[in-house]
Structures are given as C-alpha cells and as structure tokens.
Structure 1
Amino acid sequence: MGPSSLRETVALPVDMQGDIVGNIAHVPTRNTLTVGRAIDTRSELLKATAILEHAALDKYAFTRDAYLQRRRSTIFDGNPQEENEVNKTSVQNKRS
C-alpha cells in the first residue's frame, strides 16, 4: 500500500465502500478489473522504482521525504507554507 498517514488510514474504510469495482456483484468481472488495476499500478510504480534506484543513497529516507513533501503539497493545495511559517503558527496557537 505504500506510505500513508493516520489520516489516510482512518479514511480507508470509506474509500473501500466508495470503490466502484469492489461493488460489482459479478465476481469474474470484479476480479478481472481488480487484477487489471493491480497491473496498471505496478507498471506505474516501475518508473518510480527506476528513479529511486538512480537518485537515492538511502531509499527509505528518500521515499519518506518524497511522500511527506507530496502530502504537504496536497494539504495546502499546491502552495505549502515555509517550515518557519508553520513553526511560528503552531507556537502562536499554543500561546493563545
């Protein structure tokens, strides 16, 4: 499943219920679509694996940092605050 946060883990049951493929009653069709999705996901991850092999000295740290950077960008709609601004905001909130 790859890296995830507690926020994503809590939402997993909701995501599973909202999955169209998982709600298909005809089992052979559902299984075929699930396998097709898995193959497609794996083919996309092969590209990322090649980048990881060439770019990272520490694969774990690289993956963790890339995930956290992407997650931060997603939370702030592509316009994340600087680290110093986040720290100042959290200190100000604690004082209030």
Structure 2
Amino acid sequence: MVNAQDTYADESANADPWEPVNRVIFRFNDTLDTYTLKPIAKTYDRFMPQPLDDGISNVFGNLGEPRNLVNNTLQGKFRDAGVDMARFLLNTTVGVVGVFDVATRMGLQRNDEDFGQTLGAWGVSSGPYVVLPLLGPSTVRDGGARVPEALANYSYTGQIDHVPTRNTALGTDLVDTRASLLAQEKMIRGDRYNFIRNAFLQNREFKVQDGDVEDTF
C-alpha cells in the first residue's frame, strides 16, 4: 500500500527533478547534523530548565516579528501586520525584551512569514525542490528569496554590529531551534529523505495558502 504522503511530490507542482543531487547534499547535511548539531541540541535539551528554554525561544520569536510585519504588509495582510507590531511592542516592553510571551496570552497569535511566502502569495511558483548545503530543504523560490531578505537587513543579526555578540545569538538560536525539533524526529517513517521532503513541501504550501489547501489524503 502506497502512503499518500510518499507520492505528494510527484503529484504536485513541486516536483523533485534534482533528487540524485539533492540526496547527496541531504546525506552531507544529515551526517554533519548527526555528529555536531544534534548532540549539542540533545545536551541543551537535557540540561536547560524548561522555563529558561521557553524564555530563550520567546526572545528569538520576538526578534522575528519585524520579518513577519514586513512580509504581512507586502502581502496586503494589514490586520496581521498590526498584530505583528502589537506583539513586538508588548513583548519587548511588558514581556521584558521578549522573555515572556504576554501577547499570546492576550489573544494575539504569532504569525510566521518570510519573503518566500510573500512571493508565493503574489503568484510566484515554488519551482523544483532543492536541498541547500547546511541550510537544508528549500525550493528555487524560497532559496532565492533568501537574497533579498539578506539585503533588506530586517533580521536581528543585521542589527547587531558586535561580531561576538551576533555569533553568540546565532549559535544560541540555531541550537534552540534544533532542540525543538528533536521530538518531531520520532514521527519520521520510511525513507528519511522522502519524509522530510514531502513534509517540507506540504508545510510550505500550507503557509503560502494560509491554511486554505485541499486535503490530498
């Protein structure tokens, strides 16, 4: 019996014509993760007190609000952009630079937007699936969107001139994000490459369409 998820990439517009090359890069990334980032993330997850872990995640989530604000504005979703602004102001002040997510407790749910989604909202096709060295799953559209995002300089890393501080923030953000994915790895079944590819493509489609997608199962 064939799982619907296993054929998702073949049945959608997000085909994987570069699979042989993608698999090579995937194995490189996976091996690097297995012997470097994953052990660090496991140690971090094991010894980091949950309240402190939540606080760190909240801080980096708050630092991502300007990106949400810019992209919601570009997509014409002005109500969501207003929520992004309100969240940033509330969590930065009342929430002590974002340590406490008071905005969510007040009913202001966090958005998750990027320039790849903005391009998709304006009709730009995702193009073929591609695995980027070190960066992981992407598509031609989303990978290319990283360039204008970097030039826009609206992420927190672009606002920190002190190199050691910027590197420390990046490293902490990376480890915290990787630790948050540890539990999800237990859900992987069958071919690891196929599972991650299809999960990524479905998740991106869901985000671009703001959840308004057809059930393919």
| Fold equivalence (TM over 0.5) | yes
The Cα offsets for residues 45-96 of structure 1, whole Å up to 9 and x where unpaired, read as 22222222xxx1111111111111111111211011466xxxxxxxxxxxxx
Structure 2 counterpart SS, 1:4:
strand
Q: 2:144 aligned with 1:10, yes or no?
A: yes
Distance 1:68 1:42 in 2: 19
Distance 1:12 1:71 in 2: 15
Structure 1: 5+ residue runs without aligned partners? 84-96
Letter in 2 for 1:13: V
Distance 2:214 2:192 in 1: 26
Identity value in percent? 36
Q: More helix by proportion, 1 or 2? A: 1
Query: 1:20 deviation in Å?
Result: 1.6
Distance 1:18 1:79 in 2: 28
Aligned to 1:62: 195
Letter in 1 for 2:196: T
Aligned to 2:123: none
Distance 2:182 2:215 in 1: 32
| Relative contact order higher in (CA < 8 Å, ≥ 6 apart) | 2
Structure 2: 5+ residue runs without aligned partners? 1-134
Aligned residues: 80
